[in-house]
Structure 1
Amino acid sequence: MKKIIPVEEDDFYLTPEGYRCFTEQYLLKRGYCCESACRHCPYGYDKKNSYRN
């Protein structure tokens, strides 16, 4: 079971389109890569070079 990390004020910002964009700080605090190609992914995930079975 994954631990729920509370989202604080500095953990995200709103894009011009109105979406929540998580910061590198939050993604590191969360502790794992979700493989969603996040804009600020500190884990180096690249959707183009990833293969799923």
Structure 2
Amino acid sequence: MARQRGRRLPLADRPLTEPHPARLPADHPHRAAVLAVHAAALDADEAGYLDPGTGLFVLTAAFLARRGTCCDQGCRHCPYLG
């Protein structure tokens, strides 16, 4: 199914704590640290976290899910990517 920017899509069939493997592969050098800071941000109901490898701000899956639509910008924790 082609994604369309700003369109409402169903959430992917995986927990919000688990990013799509294409966006954070199992062999990513900072995977464990990324998952830990993402989980902490989810627990604190924060919009995002600072990436441990780059220092860039990354939005959480919960924030993206609450927004209600996919922006098609390649978000690491996109809850719509199936």
2:49 paired residue number: 13
Higher relative contact order (CA 8 A, sep 6+): 2
Residues in 1 aligned to 2:75 and 2:63: alpha-carbon distance in whole angstroms: 11
TM-score, scaled to structure 1: 0.60
Which blocks of at least 5 consecutive residues in structure 2 are unaligned? 1-44
Which blocks of at least 5 consecutive residues in structure 1 are unaligned? 1-8, 46-53
Written as runs of structure 1 = structure 2, the 5 A alignment for 1:1-53 is 10-16=46-52, 17-44=54-81
- Cα RMSD of the aligned pairs, angstroms, is 1.6
What stretches of structure 1 move > 6 A for 4+ residues in a row? none
Residues in 2 aligned to 1:10 and 1:23: alpha-carbon distance in whole angstroms: 8
Residues in 2 aligned to 1:22 and 1:13: alpha-carbon distance in whole angstroms: 7
What per-residue deviation string (whole Å, max 9, x for no partner) do you get for residues 1-53 of structure 1?
Answer: xxxxxxxx6110001312110000000111110101110001116xxxxxxxx
Q: How many residues align?
A: 37
